[in-house]
Structure 1
Amino acid sequence: MTNHTVTARRTPAAAAEGVGTEAAARVADVLLLFAAGPRYLGVSAISRELGISKAVVHRILRSLVSREMLATDEGVPGYRLGPAAVALGASALRRFDARAAAAPVLRRLRDETGETTTLSGLVGDERVYLDQFESRHEIKMTVDVGARFPLHAGSSGKVVLAFLPEDRREAVLALPRAALTDRTVTDEAALRAELAVIAAEGVAASVGERQADAGSVAAPLFGPDGEVYGSFSVCGPAYRFTPEAVERYRVLAREAAEEIRRSWSWLQDSVPGAE
Structure 2
Amino acid sequence: MSTHSTVGRKPAAPAESSGTEAAARVADVLLLFTGGPRYLGVSSISRELGLAKAVVHRILQSLVSREMLATDPGVSGYRLGPAAVALGASALRRFDARTVATPVLRRLRDETGETTTLSGLVGDERVYLDQFESPREIKMTVDIGRRFPLHAGSSGKVILAFLPADRQEALLARELPALTEKTITTPDDLRAVLAETARDGVAVSLGERQPGAGSVAAPLFGPDGEVHGSISVCGPQYRFTPDVVARYRDLVRAAAEEIRHDWAWLRESGGAEGR
Write out aligned runs for 1:163-242 (5 A). Answer: 163-242=162-241
C-alpha separation between the residues in 1 aligned to 2:126 and 2:155? 8
Write out aligned runs for 1:32-111 (5 A). Answer: 53-62=13-22, 64-65=24-25, 68=29, 74=47, 92=91, 95-111=94-110
Instruction: Report if aligned partners of 1:94, 1:130 keep a CA contact under 8 Å in 2.
Output: no
Residue by residue, what CA displacement relative to the aligned partner does 1:200-255 show, whole Å, maximum 9, x if unpaired?
00000010000000000000011111111100100000100111111110010111
Q: CA deviation at 1:61?
A: 2.1
Q: CA deviation at 1:73?
A: 6.4
Q: Which has the larger radius of gyration?
A: 1
List runs of 5+ in structure 1 lacking aligned partners. 1-14, 16-50
List runs of 5+ in structure 2 lacking aligned partners. 4-10, 33-44, 52-59, 69-83, 271-275
Q: Secondary structure at the match of 2:159?
A: helix
Instruction: Report if aligned partners of 2:222, 2:264 keep a CA contact under 8 Å in 1.
Output: no
Give the total of aligned pairs. 218
The one-letter code of the counterpart of 2:106 is R
Q: CA deviation at 1:69?
A: 5.5
Q: Secondary structure at the match of 1:232?
A: strand
Q: Secondary structure at the match of 2:198?
A: helix
User: What residue in structure 2 maps to residue 10 of structure 1?
Assistant: none
Q: CA deviation at 1:91?
A: 5.6
Task: Specify whether residues 193 and 261 from structure 1 end up closer, same or farther in structure 2 by C-alpha distance, changes over 3 A only.
Answer: same
Instruction: Report if aligned partners of 1:126, 1:149 keep a CA contact under 8 Å in 2.
Output: yes
User: What residue in structure 2 maps to residue 6 of structure 1?
Assistant: none
User: What residue in structure 2 maps to residue 247 of structure 1?
Assistant: 246
C-alpha separation between the residues in 2 aligned to 1:237 and 1:262? 30
Task: Specify whether residues 188 and 224 from structure 1 end up closer, same or farther in structure 2 by C-alpha distance, changes over 3 A only.
Answer: same
Q: CA deviation at 1:75?
A: 8.6
Moved more, 108-117 or 161-170: 161-170
Instruction: Report if aligned partners of 2:96, 2:263 keep a CA contact under 8 Å in 1.
Output: no
Residue by residue, what CA displacement relative to the aligned partner does 1:51-105 show, whole Å, maximum 9, x if unpaired?
9733431244235535745888649779xxx997xx7689635521100111111
Task: Specify whether residues 138 and 270 from structure 1 end up closer, same or farther in structure 2 by C-alpha distance, changes over 3 A only.
Answer: closer
C-alpha separation between the residues in 2 aligned to 1:251 and 1:130? 23
The one-letter code of the counterpart of 1:183 is K
Q: CA deviation at 1:265?
A: 3.9
C-alpha separation between the residues in 1 aligned to 2:190 and 2:248? 22
The one-letter code of the counterpart of 2:14 is K
The one-letter code of the counterpart of 2:111 is E
Instruction: Report if aligned partners of 2:116, 2:231 keep a CA contact under 8 Å in 1.
Output: yes
Q: Secondary structure at the match of 2:128?
A: strand
Q: Secondary structure at the match of 1:262?
A: helix
The one-letter code of the counterpart of 1:206 is S
C-alpha separation between the residues in 2 aligned to 1:236 and 1:213? 9
C-alpha separation between the residues in 2 aligned to 1:93 and 1:166? 29
Q: Secondary structure at the match of 2:91?
A: helix
Q: Secondary structure at the match of 2:161?
A: helix
When normalised by structure 2's length, the TM-score is 0.70
Q: Secondary structure at the match of 2:131?
A: strand
Instruction: Report if aligned partners of 1:90, 1:128 keep a CA contact under 8 Å in 2.
Output: no
Task: Specify whether residues 134 and 265 from structure 1 end up closer, same or farther in structure 2 by C-alpha distance, changes over 3 A only.
Answer: same
Residue by residue, what CA displacement relative to the aligned partner does 1:8-34 show, whole Å, maximum 9, x if unpaired?
xxxxxxx9xxxxxxxxxxxxxxxxxxx
Residue by residue, what CA displacement relative to the aligned partner does 1:110-129 show, whole Å, maximum 9, x if unpaired?
00000000000000000000
Moved more, 170-179 or 146-155: 170-179
